[in-house]
């Protein structure tokens, strides 16, 4: 009983190693740097720690990011749904997990993704892309401009 | 200010708007010369040449009494000097009252409409949309059949890449009880997405690889060209090329009301011996384009 409690505590400590901020877990290891870039974590001054190639039953190899003093808006965090659909967020205040969140694929995606169609105007002039999400599993994005559908395998980040 | 109206994609309009435009087109056919655009300037911007579409539009604008500025091909536009579409449209929308544009890139018209303060009519954006063609096709069906309901529509040829058949399918699926018969070689079949659209709406459709034996059921035969360039293997093309050619002999047992449509230009997919048959409607169809475009211009600019 005591050993189990200790193990639990240890685990919790590991996750709560930041005082205030957000822990993003269950990121596919190969999407870590894309997630960092989409959330703009490469451009902020806050303390960030990350681990990658950690064991995960579900993902094979996962990554985890801990950002101090940053709390994301839902619209912001949902941007990573395309590349880390199973990501889970722990909101940390005073070393405690005060809230858990999962990402949700939004109905509309602005920017972030390139249209797969080389003849699309968005690939030929400086235009912010815009897609209607017409499928969530697997993901299918319909371009507002050329009306072609970009499938999950065809998704490329800007 | 009220929101401006554009025509960018056939699906932008409702069934009621389709019918309103067809009604206006009939009025313009009765009386083509109406000075509704008097004192107005229309920019006709052809970033890609298309003599047929341009002449049809410019005839419509002239019959409405409007004046035209613009260019007929990209060499005479500022795009060749590296000006962005954004900047060309910004400039033109300060000069004119309406933009009619053709562009080789897909989605160009929708982007232009976002940049422009004045209405934009898409006269073709690459392989994407050509909504005024679809409306003139619908007007031709309405005129020859008296209705857009209960039409047995045969689409023949390149159904994979043909934007005209895709848009016509979308528009006609808004009407009562259509039946679609798709006749195409295996590599040029109607894409799954469109078939799925019909399934969702509970619309009947049938796929065939040839049509000589089934032609008697058709109300409308919509012919398109099977292009050699679409085949990886030239032997495959040789095998199918004659299957999708319509000749006068084949029309023997067709319905009296049946009419043949083609977006033109035709190459050899309709034998010239069909031209004299009263069921050949493709040249009339092109003529209908002028009235339909007068109607579309009047509709987007609230002239009627
Ligand atoms: Zn696109």
ipTM of the complex model: 0.90
Rounded-to-integer distance, Cα A119 and Cα B19, Å: 32
| Whether B124 and B160 share a structural domain | no
| Whether B164 and B268 share a structural domain | yes
Chain A residues inside the 8 Å CB shell of B194: none
| Whether B121 and B214 share a structural domain | no
Please check whether residue B151 lies inside any domain of the structure.
yes
Rounded-to-integer distance, Cα A112 and Cα A114, Å: 7
Q: How confident is the model at residue A78 (pLDDT cuts 50, 70, 90)?
A: confident
Say if the Cβ atoms of A119 and B86 lie within 8 Å: no
Q: Does B111 contact A at CB distance below 8 Å?
A: yes
Residues of chain B with pLDDT under 50: none
Q: Which of residues 111-140 of A touch B (CB under 8 A)?
A: 117, 119-122, 124-127
Across chain A, mean pLDDT equals 87
Distant-in-sequence, close-in-space partners of B201: CB < 8 Å, separation ≥ 6: B173
User: Given B86, B107, B129, which is nearest A122 (Cβ)?
Assistant: B107
Q: Identify the helix (H) or strand (E) that includes residue B38.
A: none
pLDDT value at residue A4: 54
Chain B residues inside the 8 Å CB shell of A124: 105
Asked which of B114, B129, B144 is the last residue of a domain, the reply is B129
Rounded-to-integer distance, Cα B299 and Cα B304, Å: 7
Task: Centre a 10 Å sphere on the Cβ of residue B103 and count the other Cβ atoms it contains.
Answer: 24
Q: Does A148 contact B at CB distance below 8 Å?
A: yes
Rounded-to-integer distance, Cα B219 and Cα B233, Å: 34
Asked which of B129, B159, B181 is the last residue of a domain, the reply is B129
Residue with tokens 């050619």: B245
Task: Centre a 10 Å sphere on the Cβ of residue A133 and count the other Cβ atoms it contains.
Answer: 16
Distant-in-sequence, close-in-space partners of B258: CB < 8 Å, separation ≥ 6: B218, B219, B220, B221, B251, B279
Q: Does B193 contact A at CB distance below 8 Å?
A: yes
CATH classification of A108-157 is 3.40.50.720, yes or no? no
| Whether B44 and B105 share a structural domain | yes
| Whether B105 and B197 share a structural domain | no
Tokens of A82: 């395309």
| Whether B46 and B176 share a structural domain | no
How many structural domains are present in chain B? 2
Rounded-to-integer distance, Cα B92 and Cα B104, Å: 19
Domain coverage including residue B223: 132-286
Q: How confident is the model at residue A1 (pLDDT cuts 50, 70, 90)?
A: very low
Rounded-to-integer distance, Cα A105 and Cα B53, Å: 42
Asked which of B129, B163, B185 is the last residue of a domain, the reply is B129
pLDDT value at residue B176: 97
Fold of the A2-102 domain: Alpha-Beta Plaits (3.30.70)
Say if the Cβ atoms of B106 and A146 lie within 8 Å: yes
| Whether B169 and B197 share a structural domain | yes
Confirm if B292 and B12 have CB atoms less than 8 A apart: no
Ligand 1: centre distance to CA B232 (Å):
26
Rounded-to-integer distance, Cα B224 and Cα B234, Å: 19
| Whether B99 and B144 share a structural domain | no
- What protein residues have CB closer than 5 angstroms to ion ligand 1? A 115, 117, 120, 143, 145-146
Q: How confident is the model at residue A7 (pLDDT cuts 50, 70, 90)?
A: low
B266 a catalytic residue? no
Q: Does A142 contact B at CB distance below 8 Å?
A: no
Chain B residues inside the 8 Å CB shell of A144: 107, 110
Ligand 1: centre distance to CA B295 (Å):
29
Please check whether residue B10 lies inside any domain of the structure.
no
Q: How confident is the model at residue A57 (pLDDT cuts 50, 70, 90)?
A: confident
B204 a catalytic residue? no
| Whether B139 and B103 share a structural domain | no
User: Given A122, A127, A146, which is nearest B128 (Cβ)?
Assistant: A146
Q: How many residues can be counted in chain B?
A: 304
Write the pLDDT tens digit of every residue in A116-150: 999 999 999 999 999 999 988 888 999 999 999 99
B130 a catalytic residue? yes
Write the pLDDT tens digit of every residue in B262-297: 998 888 899 999 999 999 999 999 999 999 999 999
Rounded-to-integer distance, Cα A110 and Cα B20, Å: 34
Please check whether residue B11 lies inside any domain of the structure.
no
Distant-in-sequence, close-in-space partners of B119: CB < 8 Å, separation ≥ 6: B4, B5, B6, B98, B99, B113, B300, B301
Delimit the domains of chain A by residue range: 2-102, 108-157
Say if the Cβ atoms of A147 and B111 lie within 8 Å: no
pLDDT value at residue A136: 85
Q: How confident is the model at residue A157 (pLDDT cuts 50, 70, 90)?
A: confident
| Whether B179 and B214 share a structural domain | yes
Residue of chain A whose Cα is closest to the Cα of B83: A125
CATH number of the domain that residue B122 is part of: 3.40.50.1370
The yes-or-no verdict on residue A14 having pLDDT over 60 is no
| Whether B82 and B45 share a structural domain | yes
| Whether B119 and B154 share a structural domain | no
Q: How confident is the model at residue A13 (pLDDT cuts 50, 70, 90)?
A: very low
Please check whether residue B254 lies inside any domain of the structure.
yes
User: Given B104, B111, B127, which is nearest A145 (Cβ)?
Assistant: B111
């Amino acid at each position: 009983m005591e050993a189990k409690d200790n193990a639990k505590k240890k685990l919790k400590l590991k996750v709560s190693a930041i005082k205030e901020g957000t822990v993003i877990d269950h990121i596919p290891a190969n999407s870590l740097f894309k997630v960092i870039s989409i959330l703009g974590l490469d451009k902020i001054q806050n303390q960030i720690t990350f681990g990658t190639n950690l064991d995960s039953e579900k993902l094979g190899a996962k990554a985890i990011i801990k950002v101090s003093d940053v709390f994301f808006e839902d619209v912001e965090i949902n941007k990573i749904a395309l590349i880390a659909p199973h990501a889970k967020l722990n909101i940390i205040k005073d070393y405690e997990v005060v809230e858990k969140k999962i990402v949700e694929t939004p109905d509309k995606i602005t920017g972030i993704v390139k249209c797969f169609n080389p003849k699309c105007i968005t690939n030929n002039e400086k235009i912010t892309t815009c897609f209607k999400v017409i499928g969530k599993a697997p993901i299918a994005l319909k371009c507002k401009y050329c009306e072609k559908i970009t499938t999950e395998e065809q998704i490329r980040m800007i | 200010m009220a929101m401006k109206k554009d025509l960018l994609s056939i699906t932008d309009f409702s069934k009621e708007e389709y019918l309103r435009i067809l009604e206006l087109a009939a009025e313009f056919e009765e009386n083509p010369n109406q000075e509704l655009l008097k004192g107005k300037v229309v920019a006709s911007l052809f970033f890609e040449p298309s003599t047929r579409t341009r002449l049809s539009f410019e005839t419509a604008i002239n019959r409405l009494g409007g004046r035209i500025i613009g260019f007929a091909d990209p060499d005479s536009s500022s795009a060749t000097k590296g000006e962005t579409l954004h900047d060309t449209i910004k400039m033109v929308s300060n000069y004119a009252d309406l933009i009619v544009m053709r562009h080789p890139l897909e989605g160009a018209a929708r982007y232009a409409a976002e940049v422009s303060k004045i209405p934009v009519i898409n006269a073709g954006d690459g392989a994407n949309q050509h909504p005024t063609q679809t409306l003139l096709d619908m007007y031709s069906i309405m005129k020859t059949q008296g209705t857009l309901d209960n039409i047995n529509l045969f689409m023949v040829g390149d159904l994979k890449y043909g934007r005209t058949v895709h848009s016509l399918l979308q528009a006609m699926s808004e009407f009562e009880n259509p039946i679609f018969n798709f006749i195409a070689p295996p590599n040029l079949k109607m894409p799954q997405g469109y078939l799925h659209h019909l399934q969702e709406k509970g619309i009947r459709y049938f796929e065939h690889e040839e049509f000589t034996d089934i032609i008697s059921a058709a109300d409308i035969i919509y012919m398109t060209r099977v292009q050699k360039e679409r085949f990886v293997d030239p032997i495959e093309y040789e095998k199918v090329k004659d299957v999708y050619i319509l000749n006068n002999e084949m029309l023997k047992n067709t319905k009296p009301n049946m009419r043949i449509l083609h977006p033109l230009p035709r190459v050899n997919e309709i034998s010239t011996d069909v031209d004299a048959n009263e069921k050949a409607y493709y040249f009339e169809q092109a003529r209908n384009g002028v009235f339909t475009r007068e109607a579309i211009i009047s509709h987007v600019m609230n002239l009627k």
